[in-house]
Structure 1
Amino acid sequence: MDYKIVSHDKFQVIGIKKVFSYDQGKNLEDIPKFWDEVHTNGTIEQLGKLGTSYMGICSVSKEQAANQEMDYWIATEYNGQNADGMEIFEVSAQQWAIFKSVGALPEAIQSTWQQIFSEWLPESDYVHADGPEIEVYDGSDTTKADFTCEVWIPVTKK
């Protein structure tokens, strides 16, 4: 897999979030619908005025994990005051394994996620660290066969 290990200072994002179940892969169906909603209701344009790229952020508290639920944010990196209808989320300083995903969404990124957890993590010198998982998109056409985005996984050395 194409990846790099990067240390990143804490940063802030602004966006909207919903709670999703990941029981039996339900999130794989529901999160793409959330993205469709954000594209049709004008939220993506509002985020585009606040930042330069878009992020999908998966965050799971211990309480949520017990119920197989997670927060999923659609956000952009942002350093400022809260904007109307949006929430601010702070991402702590982390060491990240950053993977490139190439191909049309959602199939390509879902395949990348599967490879990370079924192949890369078990075979690497790293373990998943506490913290959110992040998808980073540049705002270009996600239906193109050569669409490129990133998946960020918080990691520490084994």
Structure 2
Amino acid sequence: MFNIKDMSEDKGVKMTYLVIEREAFNVIGIRLITPYGGGTWGIVKNDGTNNLAKELFGQFFDLGLCFGFEEDGSNDYMCAVASNQETPGAFDSFTFPATNWLKFEAIGTITGQTLTQVWECINTEYLPQSDYKQSHLPTIEKYISWDEAADICNVEIWIPVYLK
């Protein structure tokens, strides 16, 4: 693991990234296809599933896995936790193989669209100019903190990659 550089300070977003080799790991959560981005979080927070995750795994869902978008804009997304426990009946699981990851840390405001800006920088500035290509595994957003009342967020974006 090593720190490469800071990006996007000029856009008001603090974004740092690392290259990490990570062993295989498993996640457990709720995977849904919703007709709009972000819909899965609203569902798991409102239907009690996030509270059930806290009871079963000792924490709320903190991972968002994006499996991809369809042509109609629908999003295949999973709210999850990293866990080696047996998957309870109402939950889904996914196992990531050992792979290399680009890990970006985005710190900023929610109203300032920090997460959107960081994804834009990754997709339009960093990846096209880097030596890395995104693999076909799902990307991960790890929510370290997301405080709407204080309007602050700290989110890690994990992108599975290989050398071009």
- Scaled by the length of structure 2, what TM-score is found? 0.77
Higher strand share: 2
Higher helix share: 1
Question: Which structure carries more relative contact order (alpha carbon 8 Å, separation 6+)?
Answer: 1
Instruction: Check the 8 A contact 1:59/1:72 in 2, yes or no.
Output: yes
State, as a whole percentage, how many aligned pairs show the same letter: 29
Matches within 5 A, 1:1-150: 1=7, 2-20=16-34, 30-49=36-55, 50=57, 52=59, 54-60=62-68, 70-105=75-110, 107-138=113-144, 140-142=146-148, 144-150=150-156
- Scaled by the length of structure 1, what TM-score is found? 0.79
Measured in 2, the distance between the counterparts of 1:122 and 1:70 equals 23
User: How many angstroms does 1:10 deviate by?
Assistant: 0.9
Q: Which one has the largest radius of gyration?
A: 2
* Residue type at the aligned position of 1:82: T
* Inter-CA distance 136–65: structure 2 relative to 1 (3 Å threshold): same
User: How many angstroms does 1:48 deviate by?
Assistant: 2.4
Gap runs ≥5 in structure 1: 22-29
